[in-house]
Amino acid sequence: MNESSKNYDIILFGATGFTGALTARYLAGQQEKTPFRMALAGRNAHKLSELKADITLQYPNAKIGTIEADADDYESLKKMTAEGQVLLTTVGPYAKYGELLVQACIATQTDYADITGEGNFVNDIIRKYGTDAEARKVRIVNCCGFDSIPADFGAYYTLQQFKNKPIKVLTIKGYAQFNSKGWNPLNSISGGTWHSAINLMRIPELYRQRGAMSKIAKDAKSQNRQVGHLFPQVHYIDSESAWGVPLPLIDNEIVLRSAAGISEYGQAFYYGHHGQLDSILSLSAGALGVSSLMVFAQVKFTRDLLLSLRPSGAGPDEAQRQQNSFQIRFHAKSELGTVITQVSGGDPGYGETSKMIAETALCLALDREKIPQRFGILTPVLAGEGVLLKRLQKAGIRFEVIESNLL
């Protein structure tokens, strides 16, 4: 489909949801800096009109259209996606509401970005639609929120510190910390991330992860390279005086897929994603908590109870979000030396996630001539590389070198 026939640069589907509304406001603010055509989309026309009116009170110069579409109605999705160059969706769970939308985007040659952390959904669309998306030159970009922009671009930024020198073996370990001044430790985690984490702890999902990473390794081997996941184990981090605990999140797969697609990551590349705990007491409590979650996640009744602790579609108010933050440190080692980098920002579950997905959509829409000409089912790094990294930095996501001992 000719891009000139598209009425909008970006369509935000799910705009009236909690994360969607935050993303809509962020985009409206960016629209005043760099003009682009934007529409808010969802199934309730009245709520869309109310949101549009509310946003234009804050941003009087914003120009916003509205589109009515239903996640269960393929024809309405197809009609919606035909109007945009990029479709940004915050409507989850994606295993339930994402597949028809991916189909519609491929049919209308519309680039797509989401904030899923659901590995089963990502695997399914790679298997079912990867070839078609590539053939029709469509970018389907998953995991563009806190799952998994910080991990993906943190590893990519770390790679940049080696100054394009050929690397034989590169190992990176990511260590994530979440901070919240509220009493509830879940305040800094979005409902979507919490639901994904609980579902990722199910035994069938752990097998799925193993299969997904085996496929990534196989694809890399076909290029005479090695790309793999570090053996998950609790370990002490001398330089941090802290403990690293493996996190079975989709971040592992996303980073490895990016590495498999970009040869500069080295002839052999290994990654592991971890939580960082600062004391043996917190390690013991964390181990007990994770063990309990693993057990409870296997049984529907207790799993549903856990999921209810952090409902999707709801979130903390602005005052609470201002008190939330995250940081992820990346410890890299190669034959060229070692480097430690850090990615950090504010509220990861909502504030920064809305910023990350919005900047991804802006990159796909406005930087089309600058980004790599890759198509198919992509990771954020494979879609945007350095162009998107610069956008994230300009948007306030902090990337910095903590320590460097390179040759």
Strand partners, 64: 38
Task: Give the pLDDT of residue 183.
Answer: 44
Write out the H or E segment, with its range, that includes residue 252. Answer: helix 251-261
**All domains in the chain, ordered by first residue:** 3-142 (3.40.50.720), 149-348+396-406 (no CATH)
Chain centroid, CA 217 distance in Å:
21
Q: What is the pLDDT of residues 48-72, one digit of tens each?
A: 999 999 999 999 999 999 999 999 9
> What is the CA 24 to chain-centroid distance, rounded?
17
- For 181-267, list the strands marked E by DSSP: 226-229, 235-237, 242-246
The angle formed by the CA atoms of residues 316, 248 and 363, to the nearest 5 degrees, is 60
User: Angle at which helices 149-160 and 251-261 pack, to 10 degrees?
Assistant: 40
Query: DSSP string spanning 273-295?
Result: EEEEESSHHHHHHHHHHHHHHHH
Residue 175, token pair as written in the block: 């260590």
Q: What is the rounded distance in angstroms from the CA atom of residue 248 to the CA atom of residue 253?
A: 10
- Listed in sequence order, the residues at least 6 apart from 152 whose beta carbon sits closer than 8 Å to its beta carbon are 143, 251, 254, 255, 258, 379, 380, 381
Q: What angle do CA 254, 258, 264 make, to 5 degrees?
A: 150
Alpha-helical (H) ranges within 299-371 are: 300-308, 318-321, 351-366
| Ordered strands of the 84-89 beta sheet | 64-68, 38-42, 8-13, 84-89, 111-114, 139-141, 376-378
Residues (pLDDT < 50) of the chain are: 183, 286, 288
Closest CA relative to residue 186, chosen from 282, 315, 305: 315
C-alpha dist (Å) from residue 231 to 109, 198, 205, 213, 250: 40, 21, 17, 12, 15
Q: Rounded distance, CA 81 to CA 78, Å? A: 5
Indicate the Cα dihedral angle 242, 248, 249, 255, nearest 10°. Answer: 80
**Which pair of tokens denotes residue 103?**
């189909």
Evaluate the omega torsion of the peptide bond into residue 372 and state whether it is cis, within 30 degrees of 0: no
H or E stretch covering 388: helix 380-394
pLDDT on residue 153: 98
The pLDDT value given to residue 277: 85
Q: Tokens 């802006």 label which residue?
A: 362
Give the pLDDT confidence score for residue 248 in this predicted structure. Answer: 84
For residue 349, the model assigns a pLDDT of 76
Give the sign of the dihedral formed by CA 153, CA 158, CA 161, CA 163. Answer: negative
